[in-house]
Structures are given as structure tokens and as C-alpha cells.
Amino acid sequence: MENSFIPVNIALLTISDTRNSDNDTSGKILRERIMDAGHQLAAQLIVPDDIYQIRAVISQWIADTGVQAVITTGGTGLTGRDGTPEAVKVLLDKEIEGFGELFRQISYQDIRTSTIQSRALGGVANGTFIFCLPGSSGACKTAWDDILKEQLDIRHRPCNFVELMPRLLEK
């Protein structure tokens, strides 16, 4: 017997010193895919590449029982301003190492060895799933289409993240 679809409340954070609501291509792509998949957009913000501002926003979202997942885009590279992993890792109760590993494996097909520059990561904090994606629109498409779309759908077998979200399954 197949489970019925359960929409996930997802908060979306773009991390960039140069993006705004007009030119945030990656944020628009992710928002569109989230909505097209039947999920709810719990919040959407843009913050500069500043680990404390990133951490402050994500901390608010993981404390909010209305947010089951957070997706960030940007700040996962190697430049001096890229601090998303440093901002997020300290908040995690558990890291999902396989997310970054799989993302880089899939990305290798398109960008070859350049994928080693990606510090994409996933984890769980206070029961909230967090996924940090690179800022490129191609990387966001790859992460959503090839990983997150299925893992955020309770109908995906043999297992998925939604089954593990205690707040979604509480009666």
C-alpha cells in the first residue's frame, strides 16, 4: 500500500553578497521546484555571506515547529567569503555525510573534477532537515532533481527523509 503524499514545510535561504529578489536565479529555481512538487514554502530570505547572519536565520527556523526542512543556496565554495558550512555545521545534531557525497558524485557527470570544490552538506538539527547547496542554478537543479525531490517525498522507496520527520508523522 502506497503512502499518500505529505507536503513538507520548507524554508529557503539564499546566501550571497550580490543577489537580491530580482536576480536570485537559484532561489527562484528552488522555490519553483518546491512548489511544483506540492510542498509548502515556509519562508524565503536572502542574507549576505556572513556566518552569524546565516546562523541566526537558520537557528530561528530550526526552532520553529512549522519548518520541517531548510534549503540554503550559496556560500559553499572555497573563497574567503564562503562560510555556509562553518555557519551550519555547529548547529547540526547529525550530519548526513551521504548527501554531500552523492551530490558530488552526481555533479561529476556534468562538471567533472570541479565538483571537489563543492562543500554541499546535509544534516539534521532539532528534527529539521538542512541541506546546503552551491549557489549556481545548475547545482540547485542537480540537488533538487536528483536527490531532494525523491528524499522529500514519503512515497519514495525503499526509504526517504519524510518518514524520519517526527513532526510530520505525529498524530
Q: Which percentage of the chain shows pLDDT scores above 90?
A: 88
Cell numbers linked to 30:
528552488
Per-residue pLDDT of 106-140, as tens digits, reads: 999 999 998 899 999 999 999 999 999 999 999 99
Residue 80: which pLDDT band, with cuts at 50, 70 and 90?
confident
* Contact between residue 130 and residue 88 where contact means Cβ atoms under 8 Å apart: yes
Helix H or strand E segment including 57: helix 51-63
Q: Is the pLDDT of residue 81 over 70?
A: yes
Residue 14: which pLDDT band, with cuts at 50, 70 and 90?
very high
Domain positions in the chain: 9-169
Q: What is the pLDDT of residue 3?
A: 79
Q: Of 3.40.980.10, 3.30.360.10, 1.10.730.10, 3.40.50.10950, which CATH number belongs to 9-169?
A: 3.40.980.10
Report the predicted TM-score, pTM, of the whole model to 2 decimal places: 0.95
Q: Give me the mean pLDDT over the 158-167 stretch.
A: 86
Per-residue pLDDT of 27-45, as tens digits, reads: 999 999 999 999 999 999 9
For residues 143 and 140, what is the distance between their CA atoms, to the nearest angstrom? 5
Q: Is the pLDDT of residue 79 over 70?
A: yes
Cα separation values, 13 from 55, 87, 110, 130, 166, Å:
11, 13, 25, 11, 23
Q: Is 103 left (phi over 0), alpha (psi -120 to 50) or beta?
A: alpha
The overall average pLDDT reported for the chain is 94
Q: What is the pLDDT of residue 88?
A: 98
For residues 76 and 81, what is the distance between their CA atoms, to the nearest angstrom? 9
